[in-house]
Structure 1
Amino acid sequence: MSVEHRTKTPWLPPRWFIRLAWSVHRGVYRVFGGRIGLWRPRDGKWGALRLTTTGRRTGRQRSVVIAYVEDGPNLVSLAMNGWGEGEPAWWLNLQTHPDATVDLVEGRRLVRGHAATGDERLRLWARWREIDTNLDAYAALRTSETAVVVLEPIPGAPNTMPGT
């Protein structure tokens, strides 16, 4: 006899509100010159970083503030698009141009992005699930699998983190 697990559909604010909140967040970051708007993950919570990618069609630099957790030297995010359909533009850009820059509280880092697969994806998804117990319910709102994006430091890249 199989047991069916019923997951309650989580509440999400309207799409326009999610987009507005992230736009305001980016604006606060810009207005304060990066002194406000980024934070490190701590106490079972995610952090916020600013990711700058190269546009897949324009070739221009595009920046977005996204949530992340640390996994050793790597930074890990979810390409969730506010749990709406489609992939976020930053993830599409990274797939075309995987080298990017992240701004953290500690400074800037050059990274290369890729999607976690197999056991790595399972491990990192479980890590995010510890932070957000509704993760699977949110992911179920999308018809496609949510990519777990790993941002690895580029080997041999100049270290732009202050104090190191």
Structure 2
Amino acid sequence: MTDNELQHLLKAEPEKGQRAFYDKYFNYVYTIVFAKLKTIASIEDVDECVGDVFAQCFIFFDKQEVVQGNLKAFTASVARRKAIDTYRRVIRHSSNIPIDDAGEIESGENIAQSAEESEMRKLLYDKVEELGEPDSTIIIQKYFFGRSSKEIADIVQLSSDNVRARCSRAVKRLKDILLSAGFTR
């Protein structure tokens, strides 16, 4: 049966037309849906999606005179869209764990240690800022961003030799500042 004959049958005798459409395109629709959902959804989800595809097609056929273009392409488009919708629904629901079943979830992160390190970084940054400009910029660019003396020289508008000398003195001053602030590392 051609697509034109099938569309005519869908209009003239909807029940026979739907049966003929289902018989002709079932394997095609199932293949498309299964290919999209096989890794994430259950067989029941695949079957439900296939049913939704045919329901969507039948609703469209009831409202329209004819499908413009290729009936097979139209069916494939509906199947892909429904499979994507089902995929999203399954993903959304599978990532939700009922609170009673969740138990205690561990992240593997030592929160106390992370908080302490974060506080240490902030204090270190504050002490580097106490060096003043351009020394704080030189230290940050060299040790935090790994830039060379030449790159830093372009940023602070000094010569490379001057940047190296200032960096060396700034590190010594920073060490003294940190020791006086109680840092022992």
The TM-score normalised by the length of structure 1 is 0.21
Higher strand share: 1
The TM-score normalised by the length of structure 2 is 0.19
